[in-house]
C-alpha cells in the first residue's frame, strides 16, 4: 500500500517579508498621498492576523452573551471593521492618543486591554477594564479615551487632546474617530475649523461603514468641501489603513495641522444589538462583502500566497484565539459584580476623597480617585 508522508515546515522555509501593491487613496486638497506599496514582514503579518481574529471572535462571543441576556444595555459590535483599528494602531506610537465613538471594543483591545477585561466590562463585572461601571461604550486605558454615547461628541474632545499635545510641546498626535452617521454634526465642522486655525496635531477619521442607524450613507449625506485636507482609504485592507495612517501622522507631526481620513469599511452586524441589520440591506449584500472584501481573509490570502505563513499555522492561531475567548468568557460570567460601595469611585482623577449621595439621600459613599 502506498504511504503518504506529510513534511512539517520549519520557520526557515518562510519568507521574512513581502511587498504588496495596495489601492491608491482618493485625494482632496493634497498634492501627494500615502504610498501605493507596502512592505509587511512575517512577524507583522502574524501579529495583524491574530489581533484581527481575536477582535472578530470577541465580538461574536459578545453577540452570543448578549442574546443570552448576560450582556445588557447597549452593545455595538465591530466585526467586519477590524482592519481599521488594527491598521491605525500599528501606525502610531503608544504615546499617541486615540478617542472614538461607541463601537469601541476593537480599539480597546488594540490599545492593549486583555480580552477578559473587555468581556468582563461588557458583563458588568468587577474585573472589567473600568471595574464594571462603563459597559460597552466606555472603556479606557493609557492614552485611550474610550467611546462616547453622544453622536459626534468625541470629536471636539479629540481636538482638545491634540491641543494639549501642542500646548505641552509633545511630539504626539490624537486619532479622533467618528462614524458616517455623525458626519453632518455641526460640532464636527466647528472642530475642523478650530483645529485648522490652531494647526492641531489631530487626525480626524470617519469610519464610513456605509450605514447609519438604519439608513444608507448615500441616502442622506453629501460630502462637503472641508477646511482640512482629506483622502479616502480602503478600510477593509489593514495595509492600506496602516500606510494611510503613517502618512497622516507624519503630516501632523510636521506641524501642518489636522488632516481628515475617510475609511471605507463595512459592519457585518446591525447598528447595535437591537438592530437586526437586514431591514435596510439584504443578507445577500452582507454575504457578498464577506466573500469578496473580508479583511481577515484578505490578509490570510496575502500571507499564504506570498509564503509568509502556512494555512496550518494560521489555523493554529485560530484555535488558540478561540481558546482565549472561551476562557475570557468564563471569567466574564463568573467574576463577581462590583460592590455598591464602589459606585461613587473614580469620578475625578487624583483628587482627595469626598462624599457622594447614594440611591437615597440617607446613604453616602466616599469617592476615591
- Grid cell of 66 as nine digits: 448578549
pLDDT at 340: 84
Whether residues 285 and 361 share a domain: the answer is no
Whether residues 328 and 351 share a domain: the answer is no
Whether residues 354 and 226 share a domain: the answer is no
Determine contact, residues 96/174, Cβ cutoff 8 Å.
Answer: yes
Give domain status of residue 11, yes or no: no
Whether residues 136 and 217 share a domain: the answer is yes
Whether residues 150 and 167 share a domain: the answer is yes
Whether residues 313 and 345 share a domain: the answer is no
Task: Give the DSSP letter string of 228-271.
Answer: SEEEEEETT-HHHHHHHHHHHHHHHHTT---EEEEEE---SS-S
Whether residues 364 and 246 share a domain: the answer is no
The pLDDT tens digits of the residues spanning 105-134 come to 999 999 999 999 999 999 999 999 999 999
| Number of structural domains found in the chain | 2
Residue 195 has pLDDT above 50, yes or no: yes
pLDDT at 35: 94
Give domain status of residue 170, yes or no: yes
Give domain status of residue 152, yes or no: yes
Residue 225 has pLDDT above 50, yes or no: no
Whether residues 230 and 353 share a domain: the answer is no
Give domain status of residue 1, yes or no: no
**Among the ranges given (37-46, 256-265, 340-349), the one the predictor scored with the smallest mean pLDDT:** 340-349
The pLDDT tens digits of the residues spanning 294-343 come to 999 999 999 999 999 999 999 999 999 999 999 999 999 999 999 988 88
Residue 143's CATH number: 3.40.50.970
Residue 206, beta-bridge partner list: 178, 262
Q: Angle, nearest 10°, between helix axes 295-305 and 311-334?
A: 150
In the numeric block, the cell 450605514 is attached to 211
Residue 243 has pLDDT above 90, yes or no: yes
**Among the ranges given (16-30, 100-114, 213-227), the one the predictor scored with the smallest mean pLDDT:** 213-227
Residue 226 has pLDDT above 80, yes or no: no
pLDDT at 184: 85
The pLDDT tens digits of the residues spanning 38-97 come to 999 999 999 999 999 999 999 999 999 999 999 999 999 999 999 999 999 999 999 999
Whether residues 231 and 156 share a domain: the answer is yes
Whether residues 33 and 162 share a domain: the answer is yes
- Domain range for 361 is 341-368
d(CA 3, CA 220): 64
Half-sphere exposure of 182 (CA within 13 A, CB side): 26
Mean of per-residue pLDDT scores for the chain: 91
pLDDT at 4: 42
- Grid cell of 63 as nine digits: 453577540
Distance of CA 320 to the CA centre of its chain: 22
**Among the ranges given (19-23, 87-91, 176-180, 342-346), the one the predictor scored with the smallest mean pLDDT:** 342-346
Contacts of 289 (CB under 8 A, 6+ apart): 80, 266, 268
Give domain status of residue 7, yes or no: no
Whether residues 325 and 350 share a domain: the answer is no
pLDDT at 3: 42
Whether residues 350 and 247 share a domain: the answer is no
Give domain status of residue 354, yes or no: yes
Residue 11 has pLDDT above 80, yes or no: no
| Core vs surface per residue 320-357: b (16+ CB within 10 A) or e | ebeebbeebbebbeebeebeeebebbeeeeeeeeeeee
Determine contact, residues 260/29, Cβ cutoff 8 Å.
Answer: no
Taking alpha carbons only, the member of 276, 253, 285 closest to residue 174 is 253
Determine contact, residues 165/172, Cβ cutoff 8 Å.
Answer: yes
- Grid cell of 274 as nine digits: 437591537
Q: State which H helix or E strand residue 154 sits in.
A: helix 154-167
Q: State which H helix or E strand residue 356 sits in.
A: strand 354-357
Give domain status of residue 288, yes or no: yes
Determine contact, residues 267/211, Cβ cutoff 8 Å.
Answer: yes
Contacts of 41 (CB under 8 A, 6+ apart): 16, 17
Give domain status of residue 10, yes or no: no
Amino acid at each position: 500500500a502506498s504511504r503518504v508522508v506529510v513534511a512539517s515546515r520549519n520557520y526557515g522555509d518562510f519568507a521574512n517579508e513581502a511587498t504588496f501593491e495596495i489601492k491608491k487613496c482618493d485625494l482632496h486638497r493634497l498634492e501627494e498621498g500615502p504610498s501605493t506599496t507596502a512592505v509587511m514582514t512575517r512577524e507583522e503579518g502574524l501579529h495583524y492576523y491574530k489581533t484581527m481574529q481575536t477582535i472578530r471572535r470577541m465580538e461574536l462571543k459578545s453577540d452570543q452573551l448578549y442574546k443570552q441576556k448576560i450582556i445588557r444595555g447597549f452593545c455595538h459590535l465591530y466585526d467586519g471593521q477590524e482592519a481599521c483599528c488594527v491598521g491605525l494602531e500599528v501606525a502610531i506610537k503608544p504615546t499617541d492618543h486615540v478617542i472614538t465613538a461607541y463601537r469601541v471594543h476593537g480599539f480597546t483591545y488594540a490599545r492593549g486591554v486583555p480580552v477578559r477585561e473587555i468581556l468582563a466590562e461588557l458583563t458588568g463585572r468587577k474585573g472589567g477594564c473600568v471595574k464594571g461601571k462603563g459597559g460597552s461604550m466606555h472603556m479606557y486605558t493609557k492614552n485611550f479615551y474610550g467611546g462616547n454615547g453622544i453622536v459626534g461628541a468625541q470629536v471636539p474632545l479629540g481636538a482638545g487632546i491634540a491641543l494639549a499635545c501642542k500646548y505641552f510641546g509633545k511630539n504626539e498626535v490624537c486619532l479622533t474617530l467618528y462614524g458616517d452617521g455623525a458626519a453632518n454634526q455641526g460640532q464636527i465642522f466647528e472642530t475642523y475649523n478650530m483645529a485648522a486655525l490652531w494647526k492641531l496635531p489631530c487626525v480626524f477619521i470617519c469610519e464610513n461603514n456605509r450605514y447609519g442607524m438604519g439608513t444608507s450613507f448615500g441616502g442622506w449625506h453629501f460630502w462637503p468641501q472641508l477646511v482640512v485636507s482629506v483622502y479616502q482609504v480602503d478600510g477593509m485592507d489593514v495595509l492600506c489603513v496602516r500606510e494611510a495612517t503613517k502618512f497622516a501622522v507624519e503630516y501632523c507631526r510636521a506641524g501642518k495641522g489636522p488632516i481628515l481620513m475617510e475609511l471605507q469599511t463595512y459592519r457585518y452586524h446591525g447598528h447595535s444589538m437591537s438592530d437586526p441589520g437586514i431591514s435596510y440591506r439584504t443578507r445577500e449584500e452582507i454575504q457578498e462583502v464577506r466573500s469578496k472584501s473580508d479583511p481577515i481573509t484578505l490578509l490570510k490570502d496575502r500571507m499564504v500566497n506570498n509564503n509568509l505563513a502556512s494555512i496550518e499555522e494560521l489555523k493554529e492561531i485560530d484555535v488558540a484565539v478561540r481558546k482565549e475567548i472561551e476562557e475570557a468568557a468564563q471569567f466574564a460570567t463568573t467574576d463577581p459584580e462590583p460592590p455598591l460601595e464602589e459606585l461613587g469611585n473614580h469620578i475625578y482623577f487624583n483628587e482627595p476623597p469626598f462624599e457622594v449621595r447614594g440611591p437615597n439621600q440617607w446613604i453616602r459613599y466616599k469617592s476615591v480617585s
